[in-house]
Structure 1
Amino acid sequence: MDNNSMIKLVQSCIPPLDGNSHKGQAGRIGVIGGSMEYTGAPFFAGISALKVGADIAHIFCTSPAATVIKSYSPELIVHPLLDQPNAVNEISPWLDRLHAIVVGPGLGRETKTFEIVSELIETIKRKNIPLIVDADALFLITHNLELLKDFQSPVILTPNKVEFERLCDKVNGQSGLNKLGKNIIVLKKGSMDEVYCAISNAQWKSNVGGSGRRCGGQGDILSGSIAIFLHWTLSNVDKLNLTYSMDRTIIAASLSCFAASLLVRTCNEKAFKIKGRSMLATDMIEYIHISFQELYGQ
Structure 2
Amino acid sequence: MPAGAAAHTDRPAPVGVDPTRASIARVYDAFLNGKDNYEIDREVLRGVQKAAPEAAELATENRGFLIRACRFLASQTGITQYLDCGSGLPTAENTHQVVQRIQPDSRVVYVDNDPVVLAHGRALLEENDQTHFVSADIFSPEEILENETVRKHIDFSEPLALLQLGTLHHYDGSPTPAEIMATYIDALPSGSYVALSHFIDPQNEHSTVARKMEEMFLHSPMGSGYFRTKEEIAAMFPGLDLVDPGLALCADWWPDGPRIKPLNQVQFCIAGAVGRKP
- Tell me which interval the TM-score lies in, with the shorter structure as reference length: 0.3 to 0.5
Query: Normalized against structure 1, the TM-score is what?
Result: 0.38
User: TM-score of the superposition, structure 2-length normalised?
Assistant: 0.40
Q: Which has the higher helix share?
A: 1
